[in-house]
Amino acid sequence: KRVGVLISGSGTNLQALIDATQDSTKHIGAEIVLVISNKANVEGLKRAQTANIPTKVLNHKDYANRVEFDRALHDELVKAEVEIVCLAGFMRILTGEFVGKWKGRMLNIHPSLLPLFKGVDAQKQAFESGVQVTGCTVHFVDEQLDNGAILVQDAVPIKPDDTLESLTKRILAAEHQAYPKALHLIATGKATLGGNNQIVWSDN
């Protein structure tokens, strides 16, 4: 399957996806054909270039509104014949129109065990809440923020001597395992989004 990855920053999750998809022994069933960033000169773009993956910068500030920006985004993905979209630290809220076009074909990764701790600074929210376990979630994207059907989760313990930094690092390491796993599941059809917005598992 042809994958487009949307980023805004450092792109360590993008790197995990690049490494997994370029490792022929892993049989992920997907190749990254385009990386789009809404910010120029970010580390993630360099990672894509190093891996010889085409990149595109679409600055949201160059568009009149979200609808126009998302239409430009969609056009680029269609032009590259993208079949699956992975959001990897993409810090823009997407319009319902865009989300609808990619329904069942777009994933996001979030640094908490959803539905807990949605939105920004999820690691900090968990750290300050007193929970002893948090983690990461890969989910299908729907119209609500950090809300769609959950595809892969991994738990990460919060240890008594953790700082927010050490916890964030451990969650990120879990993300790098979870995202390729989730991409593999949908690229190979082992998981799809059913009509009732729940995951349908198949053992093909």
Q: Kindly list the residues in this chain that would bind ligand GRF in the complex (CB under 6 A).
A: 9-14, 44, 88-89, 109-111, 172, 175
Q: How open is the CA angle 167-169-173, to the nearest 5 degrees?
A: 115
CB 128, min distance to ligand GRF, A:
17
If the CB atoms of residues 150 and 200 are measured against ligand GRF, the closer one turns out to be 150
If the CB atoms of residues 142 and 175 are measured against ligand GRF, the closer one turns out to be 175
Residue found under tokens 């992920």: 28
Distance from the first to the final alpha carbon of the chain: 16
CB 190, min distance to ligand GRF, A:
22
Q: Which residues contact 146 (CB under 8 A, 6 or more apart)?
A: 108, 110, 114, 115, 118, 119, 137, 139
CB 88, min distance to ligand GRF, A:
5
If the CB atoms of residues 34 and 196 are measured against ligand GRF, the closer one turns out to be 34
Catalytic-role residue among 110, 139, 176, 184:
110
Distance CA 77, CA 114 (A): 28
Whose CB is nearest to ligand GRF? 89
* Whether 60 is catalytic: no
What are the backbone angles phi and psi of residue 4, rounded to the nearest 5°? -115, 135
Active site residues: 110
